[in-house]
Amino acid sequence: MKPYRITAMKMGETSVPSAEIFWMTKLVGWEMLTFWSFLIENDERKVLLNTGFPQDYSALHKHWTSWAKSAMGEEGHVPIVTPDHWIVNALGQNNVRSDDVTDVLVTPLTAYATGGLDQFAKASLWFSRRGWLDFHAPDPEIPQLPRRIIFPDHVLQWLVGPAASRIRLLDDEEQEFLPGIRAWFCGGHHRSSMVFAVQTRRGTAALTDAVFKYRNFEERIPLGLSESLEEHYRLFAKLKRSADIIIPLYDPLLMQRHERGVIE
């Protein structure tokens, strides 16, 4: 198996309340997030991690800004998404067509990651089994995100229709589901949150939405948007043991840590 090259592609950005990112550490102010998708490729496969925002992200815009206004008493959490951020255009800038993609990985199941899924007519679609079941049969005692904030309506219709035979569900336990790529359920952020561990020339690169920024991992600070503090601390410990490179899914500093956003 040849090692993979990982290329970050910007899907958009927004400012969020600091308390959303850093649990009981920074309770006031705002932090910038950059939403990244990743092209993971070698001579044999072209794998995509997350598909960015839908072209019509008005539902997510309303959900985020309404929540931020209620929580902070200030305007904020406005998604900033340009045509270059649309996943098909971002891939095109890397000389990749949507039909070239062999596999699409998603973590978490939320519209900023699932918004472009319906552009991939040939790829296998890999989701957390726990997250998929939680979406379709939610625990009535646990608050849930609005359904269209998890999957835009047109994407869900496509998934349960034409794409249904290509959905692949990943169990909680660690497994190598593609050559050189392992996955396990980490939780913390959402019931659909996974770690994807990719073999590169520099070692194992671990990508997960349960680490928003480098500081979360480096200082062992759970997310403010944490569904389980215990899962976060266990995640930090396992990543320290098993990964050589940590790649947060939303840190603007990624481009400073990795020239041109490339890890190989």
Which uninterrupted H or E stretch holds 155?
A: helix 153-160
Closest to 151 (Cα-Cα) out of 114, 125, 177: 114
Within 8 A by CB and 6+ apart from 73, the residues are: none
For 15-68, write each residue's pLDDT tens digit.
Answer: 999 999 999 999 999 999 999 999 999 999 999 999 999 999 999 999 999 999
Q: Which neighbouring-strand residues pair with 49?
A: 38, 105
State the pLDDT at residue 242: 97
For 212-263, write each residue's pLDDT tens digit.
Answer: 999 999 999 999 999 999 999 999 999 999 999 999 999 999 999 999 999 9
Average pLDDT, rounded, for the chain:
97
CA angle 200, 204, 209 (to 5 degrees): 110
Q: Regarding beta strands 124-128 and 103-105, do their DSSP bridges make them parallel or antiparallel, or are they unpaired?
A: parallel
Q: Report the b/e string of 207-243 with b at 16+ CB within 10 A.
A: bbbbbbbbbbbeeebbbbbbbbeebbeebbebbeeeb
pLDDT band at 87 (very low <50, low <70, confident <90, very high): very high
Q: Regarding beta strands 181-185 and 30-41, do their DSSP bridges make them parallel or antiparallel, or are they unpaired?
A: unpaired
CA distance 123 to 50: 13
Average pLDDT rounded to a whole number, residues 191-209: 98
What's the residue count for the chain?
264
State the pLDDT at residue 12: 98
Above 90 in pLDDT, residue 153?
A: yes
State the pLDDT at residue 41: 98
CA distance 216 to 224: 10
State the pLDDT at residue 196: 99
CA distance 34 to 88: 18
* Number of neighbouring beta carbons within 10 Å of residue 2: 13
What are the boundaries of each domain within the chain? 5-263
Q: Where are the beta strands (DSSP E) in the chain?
A: 5-17, 30-41, 46-49, 103-105, 124-128, 167-170, 175-178, 181-185, 194-200, 203-208, 245-248, 262-263
CA distance 180 to 199: 5
Q: Do 116 and 88 form a contact (C-beta atoms < 8 A)? A: yes
Domain 5-263, CATH? 3.60.15.10
Q: Regarding beta strands 167-170 and 175-178, do their DSSP bridges make them parallel or antiparallel, or are they unpaired?
A: unpaired
Within 8 A by CB and 6+ apart from 65, the residues are: 75, 76, 77, 78
Q: Do 146 and 125 form a contact (C-beta atoms < 8 A)? A: no
Above 90 in pLDDT, residue 1?
A: no
